[in-house]
Amino acid sequence: MLIYLIMALDFPPWALKAIDKIRRGFLWKGRKDVNGGHCLVAWPKVTRPPELVGLSISHLQHLGWALRMRWLWLQKTKPNKPWAIFPIQVQHSVKAFFSVAITSEIGNGKNTLFWTDRWLHGQSLDKLVPHLFGTVSKRAKKRTVYEALTEMRWIADIRGALTVAVLSEYLGLWDLLSEVVLQPEVEDLHIWCFSALGRYSAKSAYEALFIGATQFRPYERIWKSWAPGKCKFLMWLVAHNRCWMADGLAKRNLPHPERCSLCDQEEDTINHLLVSCLHPSSMVQHTSQRRLAGFSSSVGRFLL
For 102-147, what is each residue's pLDDT tens digit? 999 999 988 999 999 999 988 999 899 999 998 888 888 889 999 9
> What does the pLDDT look like over 13-52, one tens digit per residue?
899 999 988 898 888 888 877 777 778 888 888 998 888 8
Q: 86 pLDDT band (50/70/90 cuts)?
A: confident
Q: Tell me what the pLDDT averaged over the chain comes to.
A: 82
User: Which of 170, 169, 168 has its CA nearest to residue 156?
Assistant: 170
User: In this model, does residue 193 exceed pLDDT 80?
Assistant: yes
User: Dmax of the chain from CA atoms?
Assistant: 87
User: In this model, does residue 226 exceed pLDDT 60?
Assistant: yes
Q: Are residues 182 and 223 in the same domain?
A: no
Residue 82 lies in a domain: no
User: In this model, does residue 294 exceed pLDDT 70?
Assistant: no
> What does the pLDDT look like over 236-263, one tens digit per residue?
888 887 777 777 767 777 776 777 777 7
3-state secondary structure of 142: helix
Residue 55 lies in a domain: no
Alpha carbon 27 to chain centroid distance? 22
Residue 97 lies in a domain: no
Q: How many CB atoms lie within 10 A of CB 121?
A: 9
Q: Are residues 183 and 253 in the same domain?
A: no
How many Cα atoms within 13 Å fall on the side-chain side of residue 21? 10
Domain boundary pick from 140, 163, 187: 187
Q: Are residues 226 and 178 in the same domain?
A: no
Containing 120, the helix (H) or strand (E) segment is strand 118-120
What distance in Å separates the CA atoms of residue 304 and residue 285, rounded to the nearest whole number?
21
Alpha carbon 177 to chain centroid distance? 35
- Number of domains into which the chain is organized: 2
Domain boundary pick from 171, 187, 203: 187
Q: Answer whether 202's CB lies under 8 Å from 67's CB.
A: yes
Q: Answer whether 193's CB lies under 8 Å from 204's CB.
A: no
Residue 160 lies in a domain: yes
User: In this model, does residue 300 exceed pLDDT 70?
Assistant: no
DSSP states of 187-251: --EEEETTSTTS---HHHHHHHTTTTPPP-TTHHHHHTSSS-HHHHHHHHHHHTT-S--HHHHHH
> What does the pLDDT look like over 151-161, one tens digit per residue?
888 988 888 77
Range of lowest pLDDT (74-83, 85-94, 291-300): 291-300
Residue 16 lies in a domain: no
Q: 293 pLDDT band (50/70/90 cuts)?
A: very low
Q: Are residues 158 and 232 in the same domain?
A: no
Range of lowest pLDDT (123-137, 176-190, 265-279): 265-279
How many Cα atoms within 13 Å fall on the side-chain side of residue 184? 1
Per-range mean pLDDT, top range of 74-88, 136-150, 228-242? 136-150
Q: Which residue has the higher pLDDT, 96 or 304?
A: 96
DSSP states of 92-116: HHHHHHHHHHEEEE-SSSTTSBTTT
Q: Which domain holds residue 124?
A: 107-187
Residue 37 lies in a domain: no
Residue 138 lies in a domain: yes
